[in-house]
């Protein structure tokens, strides 16, 4: 084979593997849509979006996705309440305050937090955090949104801190020095100059953390319960979209049945949420890159 | 001199980067076994012209060219030319020394290796002769296994020259090869260029007027994408015909 | 008190808040792992590792789960490594900026953000049902390969981008073809970064639970799998299963298994971080 032909073949092989990622996306969309489509032949979209009960596995079947969405958003909100202040403080501290050596030690340790399998976090939530919360809030249930949300928050701290820190550090040094040069303190420099300058990067980190929390599965499947209910009470069992999919997967639901299709309708709802968030993040990041190029 | 005696011929060459015109109507013929210096202020198109000669501009997406460049009478932009063969024939040395993160020996042997050369003895001989031509042999002959990046800047640049020579090119393009080096290393490389023209045709871009006058036989002055003047170096530096050339070489702009 | 003084106090105060926040994350981590260690350490012995699953917590072991994890690790690497690296190379070296590459880029970035459980649904339908692989190791490994592909692609691209362009030009200038330049120069120079990405990706695959649950990996598999078409379980699923049981003995088992799983992931991440640092130091262009 001549060198020229070899080059062409190699490029073709590389291109083929590139198309696998496109096929994956098509696969996901196709799988979710086709199964959801046949789901919506039997259940009206209006019921799906407006009914306030989700009981596909009971004798009296109701198909309102709202309770699952509320459960998902509740745990996510708790997680962000924990992770946002902590993650941002860590990011600002590491990029503006901490001595270099401390940063070099702490950063990989924080990344380790992100590498812990989520099933382990689930164990933390159920076996350690919930019993601890019970000593403060005696009427909290064994499964609840609070404990799962808090642990999920701890899990996503490194996402926010690491990405926000990168954003802060990519701000040109001259900007920081200009602020110091007119006598600003580190705190003033951080919040009045650096954070605004890095705002798009920080926003991206928050959106991605949000998206990550919505899609998180094992922590909520283990610690938040399996009772879909439309509530903002963090002390009682709820169910998230992801936990529902796990619940059905563990059972013996025959392929083609309406119950089987519910997990695709639920998955599709989840996918739409994360897809929108990820695209906003992508778009913001793109704008951000253009600003500094 | 017959026109086919020119080593490199450039006819009506226009170069665009997107909508921006970088070179306008360049006609420049270079004789074999000479050193031709391309001079001119930054952004005048001299480096662009150099890179047109071995098609290094092909890697810039927005690049487009009209006109004709021929080397040894052959149009180098026609589609049957393999750009890889062209570059083996027209070696290039860059502004900053850019050795590969490999051993000294592997750096020089790289060009032969990618041509599919397997004969170890042959490669060894070629590496030795290339390093000798680049006046580096005596300094590295016992350390051929050492990483190239452990050499000094001047040595690295001579290594890059040796690397280009090892594949036996006919033409050697040099893009400000001494701009990143100290005066002593610069002097060594200038001496080397002077000796190399016996075997090679050399085109060198330089910012340094003294360097151009010291080492080149011909000098081409570029200004704003145009070739203003091209003549024997002695003529250019003593009796420039154009006022712009006069102003540039006397340091009034640039 | 003048303003300057107050500002300095505020400045110091925030420094303290930042330090506390940073330590808080790490302390929580230490505390939680400490608890697991306290709970599970005594349970770990050779019997625990060598035993098959059992209804009695004190007899149950993780042999099948460990075997499944090793299989998954092996198969996922085989599938995702060549695919991910090739795609990374293609995107970085072959494509010119165009609508199509923009699309590919958005696509990879989107895939990286798709929740893992959605990959499970994809695997269930495509590998499990359409390719008829059921709940076999192969179906699980293929699913996880798609899941970690974006990680490998992104790190491969970053590592390749870090190779200075002068190296590329030097190689082309000597008459090397595109692939020769990639194979001889760019890949060796970026291998450290690429390997880091691969290890991080595989470590992610080893810890994943949700997609495998959806594909149908079983919690109770009495024998270690002996071929890619066998049913399987993995450590995270075994842990999940033990956590869900009421008896205290099983949560001790879960803690012990978590310790092993954490050891595996931390070792892999440690190696990845080490490689990354060594590579950054070695190639200081």
Two tokens, residue B90? 């027209």
Average pLDDT, chain B: 91
**Shared domain check, C27 and C88:** no
Report yes or no: C175 at the A interface, CB cutoff 8 Å: no
Cβ–Cβ of C175/B99 closer than 8 Å?
Answer: no
What pLDDT is attached to residue A170? 86
Give the residue from B47, B8, B12, B5 showing the smallest Cα distance to B27. B12
Q: Which residue of C has its CA nearest to B55?
A: C173
**Shared domain check, C221 and C177:** yes
**Shared domain check, C137 and C15:** no
Q: Which residue of C has its CA nearest to A276?
A: C110
Query: Over 50: is that where the pLDDT of C30 sits?
Result: yes
CB A100 within 8 A of CB A165: no
Partner residue opposite C169 with nearest CB, options B56, B89, B164:
B56
CA torsion sign for A162, A167, A168, A174 is positive
* Domain range for B89: 3-249
**B3-to-B29, B32, C114 alpha-carbon distances in Å:** 9, 12, 65
Give the residue from B204, B205, B207 showing the smallest Cα distance to B248. B207
Q: How far apart, in Å, do the first and last CA atoms of chain A sit?
A: 43
CATH (domain of C198): 1.10.3720.10
**Shared domain check, C108 and C248:** yes
Residues of chain C in Cβ contact (below 8 Å) with chain B: 96-97, 164, 166-177, 180, 184-185, 188-189, 282-283
B139 burial level (CB within 10 Å; 0-12, 13-18, 19+): middle
C164 burial level (CB within 10 Å; 0-12, 13-18, 19+): middle
Two tokens, residue B222? 């570029």
Looking at CA atoms only, how far is residue A230 from chain C in angstroms?
A: 23
Residues in chain B: 254
CB A165 within 8 A of CB A95: yes
CB B204 within 8 A of CB B219: no
Is B111 within the bounds of a domain?
yes
How far apart are alpha carbons C95 and C93 in whole angstroms? Answer: 6
What pLDDT is attached to residue A293? 47
Partner residue opposite C18 with nearest CB, options A89, A188, A270:
A89
Cβ–Cβ of C21/A275 closer than 8 Å?
Answer: no
How many B-C residue pairs are in contact by the CB < 8 A criterion?
Answer: 68
**Shared domain check, C61 and C21:** no
How far apart are alpha carbons A34 and C212 in whole angstroms? Answer: 22
Residues from chain A contacting residue C244 (CB–CB below 8 Å): 222
Q: Which helix (H) or strand (E) holds B27?
A: strand B20-30
Cβ–Cβ of C121/A245 closer than 8 Å?
Answer: yes
Cβ–Cβ of A21/C108 closer than 8 Å?
Answer: yes
**Shared domain check, C158 and C91:** yes
DSSP C78-119: HHHHHHHHHHHHIIIIIPPSSHHHHHHHHHHHHHHHS-HHHH
CATH (domain of B168): 3.40.50.300
CB A65 within 8 A of CB A265: yes
Report yes or no: C253 at the A interface, CB cutoff 8 Å: no
Is B209 within the bounds of a domain?
yes
Count of C-beta atoms within a 10 Å radius of residue A112 = 18
Cβ–Cβ of B163/C169 closer than 8 Å?
Answer: no
How far apart are alpha carbons B236 and B249 in whole angstroms? Answer: 9
* Domain range for C260: 46-282
Please count the structural domains in chain B: 1
Looking at CA atoms only, how far is residue B19 from chain C in angstroms?
A: 17
How far apart are alpha carbons C37 and C52 in whole angstroms? Answer: 22
Q: Which helix (H) or strand (E) holds B214?
A: helix B209-215
How far apart are alpha carbons B235 and B230 in whole angstroms? Answer: 9
Please count the structural domains in chain C: 2
Q: Which residue of C has its CA nearest to A16?
A: C87
DSSP B94-139: -SS----SSBHHHHHHHHHHHTT---HHHHHHHHHHHHHHTT-HHH
Partner residue opposite A93 with nearest CB, options C19, C111, C206:
C19
Report yes or no: C113 at the A interface, CB cutoff 8 Å: yes
How many A-C residue pairs are in contact by the CB < 8 A criterion?
Answer: 258
Partner residue opposite C174 with nearest CB, options B59, B96, B114:
B114
- The segments of chain B whose pLDDT lies below 50 read 1
Cβ–Cβ of A27/C126 closer than 8 Å?
Answer: yes
Report yes or no: A251 at the C interface, CB cutoff 8 Å: no
Residues from chain A contacting residue C266 (CB–CB below 8 Å): 112, 115
How far apart are alpha carbons B178 and B187 in whole angstroms? Answer: 9
The residue whose two tokens read 């689930």 is A122
Cβ–Cβ of C11/A28 closer than 8 Å?
Answer: no
pLDDT in tens, chain A (293 residues): 577 788 899 999 998 888 899 999 999 999 999 999 999 999 999 999 998 889 888 888 889 999 999 999 999 999 999 999 999 999 999 998 989 888 888 888 888 888 899 999 999 999 999 999 999 999 999 999 999 999 999 999 999 999 999 999 888 888 888 888 887 888 888 888 888 888 888 999 999 999 999 999 999 999 999 999 998 999 999 999 999 999 999 887 888 889 899 999 999 999 999 999 999 998 888 877 666 54
Two tokens, residue A101? 């050596």
B contact chains, 3+ CB pairs < 8 A = C
In percent, how much of chain C has pLDDT > 70? 97
Q: Which residues of B103-138 are buried (b: 16+ CB within 10 A; e: fewer)?
A: bbbbbbbbbbbbbeeeeeeebeebbbbbbebbbbbe
Count of C-beta atoms within a 10 Å radius of residue C22 = 26
Is B231 within the bounds of a domain?
yes
What pLDDT is attached to residue C146? 96
**Shared domain check, C266 and C217:** yes
In percent, how much of chain A has pLDDT > 70? 98
CA torsion sign for B175, B179, B183, B184 is negative
Cβ–Cβ of A185/C108 closer than 8 Å?
Answer: no
Is B254 within the bounds of a domain?
no
Count of C-beta atoms within a 10 Å radius of residue B194 = 14
Beta bridge partners of A14: none
**Shared domain check, C145 and C17:** no
Looking at CA atoms only, how far is residue B72 from chain C in angstroms?
A: 18
Cβ–Cβ of C174/B99 closer than 8 Å?
Answer: no
Average pLDDT, chain C: 89
**Shared domain check, C106 and C30:** no
């Amino acid at each position: 084979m001549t060198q020229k032909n070899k080059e062409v073949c190699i490029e073709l092989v590389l291109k083929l593997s590139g198309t696998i990622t496109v096929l994956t996306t098509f696969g996901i969309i196709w799988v979710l849509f086709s199964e959801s489509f046949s789901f919506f032949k039997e259940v009206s979209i209006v019921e799906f979006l407006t009914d306030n009960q989700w009981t596909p596995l009971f004798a009296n079947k109701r198909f309102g996705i709202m309770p699952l969405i509320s459960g998902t958003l509740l745990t996510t909100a708790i997680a962000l309440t924990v992770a946002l202040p902590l993650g941002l403080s860590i990011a600002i501290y590491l990029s503006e305050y901490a001595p270099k050596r401390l940063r070099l030690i702490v950063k990989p340790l924080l990344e380790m937090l992100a590498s812990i399998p989520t099933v382990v976090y689930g164990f933390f939530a159920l076996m350690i955090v919930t019993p601890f919360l019970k000593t403060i809030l005696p009427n909290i249930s064994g499964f609840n949104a609070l404990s799962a949300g808090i642990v999920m928050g701890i899990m996503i701290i490194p996402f926010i801190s690491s990405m926000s820190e990168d954003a802060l550090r990519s701000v040109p040094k001259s900007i920081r020095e200009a602020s110091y040069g007119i006598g600003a303190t580190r705190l003033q420099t951080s919040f009045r100059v650096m954070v605004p300058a890095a705002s798009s990067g920080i926003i991206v980190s928050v959106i991605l953390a949000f998206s990550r929390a919505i899609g998180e599965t094992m922590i909520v499947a283990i610690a938040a319960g399996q009772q879909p209910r439309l509530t903002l009470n963090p002390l009682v069992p709820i169910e998230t979209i992801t936990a529902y999919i796990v619940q059905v997967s563990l059972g013996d639901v025959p392929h083609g049945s309406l119950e089987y299709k519910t997990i695709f309708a639920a998955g599709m709802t989840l996918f739409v949420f994360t897809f929108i968030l990820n695209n906003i993040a992508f778009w913001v990041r793109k704008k951000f890159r253009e600003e500094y190029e | 001199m017959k026109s086919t005696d020119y080593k490199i011929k450039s006819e009506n060459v226009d170069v665009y980067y997107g909508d921006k015109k970088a070179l306008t109507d360049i006609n420049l013929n270079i004789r074999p076994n000479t050193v031709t210096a391309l001079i001119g202020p930054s952004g005048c198109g001299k480096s662009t012209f150099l890179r047109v000669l071995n098609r290094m501009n092909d890697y810039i997406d927005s690049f487009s060219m009209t006109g004709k460049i021929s080397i040894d009478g052959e149009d180098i932009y026609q589609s049957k030319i393999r750009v890889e063969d062209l570059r083996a024939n027209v070696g290039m040395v860059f502004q900053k020394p850019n050795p590969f993160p490999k051993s000294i020996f592997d750096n020089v042997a790289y060009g032969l290796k990618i041509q599919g050369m397997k004969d170890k003895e042959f490669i060894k001989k070629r590496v030795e002769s290339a390093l000798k031509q680049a006046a580096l042999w005596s300094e590295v002959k016992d350390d051929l296994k050492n990483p190239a990046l452990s050499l000094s800047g001047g040595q690295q640049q001579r290594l890059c020259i040796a690397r280009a020579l090892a594949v036996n090119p006919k033409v050697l393009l040099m893009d400000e090869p001494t701009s990143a080096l100290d005066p002593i290393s610069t002097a060594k490389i200038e001496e080397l260029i002077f000796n190399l023209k016996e075997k090679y045709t050399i085109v060198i871009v330089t910012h340094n007027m003294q360097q151009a006058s010291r080492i080149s036989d011909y000098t081409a002055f570029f200004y704003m994408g145009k070739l203003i003047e091209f003549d024997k170096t002695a003529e250019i530096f003593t009796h420039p015909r154009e006022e712009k050339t006069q102003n540039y070489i006397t340091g009034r702009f640039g | 008190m003048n303003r300057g003084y107050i500002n300095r106090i505020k400045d110091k105060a925030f420094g303290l808040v930042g330090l506390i926040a940073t330590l808080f994350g790490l302390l929580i981590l230490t505390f939680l792992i400490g608890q697991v260690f306290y709970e599970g350490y005594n349970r770990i012995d050779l019997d625990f590792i060598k035993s098959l699953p059992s209804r009695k917590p004190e007899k149950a072991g993780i042999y099948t789960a460990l075997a499944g994890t090793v299989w998954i690790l092996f198969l996922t690497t085989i599938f995702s490594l060549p695919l991910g690296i090739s795609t990374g190379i293609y995107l970085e070296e072959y494509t010119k900026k165009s609508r199509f590459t923009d699309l590919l880029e958005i696509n990879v970035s989107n895939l990286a953000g798709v929740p893992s459980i959605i990959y499970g649904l994809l695997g269930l339908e495509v590998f499990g049902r359409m390719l008829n692989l059921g709940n076999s190791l192969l179906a699980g490994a293929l699913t996880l390969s798609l899941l970690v592909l974006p990680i490998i692609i992104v790190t491969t691209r970053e590592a390749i981008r870090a190779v200075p362009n002068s190296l590329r030009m030097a190689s082309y200038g000597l008459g090397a073809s595109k692939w020769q330049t990639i194979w001889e120069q760019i890949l060796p120079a970026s291998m450290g970064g690429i390997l880091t990405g691969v290890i991080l990706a595989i470590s992610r695959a080893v810890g994943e639970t949700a997609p495998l649950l959806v594909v149908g990996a079983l919690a109770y598999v009495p024998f270690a799998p002996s071929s890619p078409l066998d049913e399987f379980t993995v450590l995270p699923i075994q842990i999940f299963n033990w956590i869900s049981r009421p008896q205290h003995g099983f949560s001790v088992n879960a803690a012990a298994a978590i310790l092993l799983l954490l050891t595996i992931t931390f070792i892999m991440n440690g190696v990845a971080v080490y490689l990354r640092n060594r590579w950054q130091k070695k190639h200081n262009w």
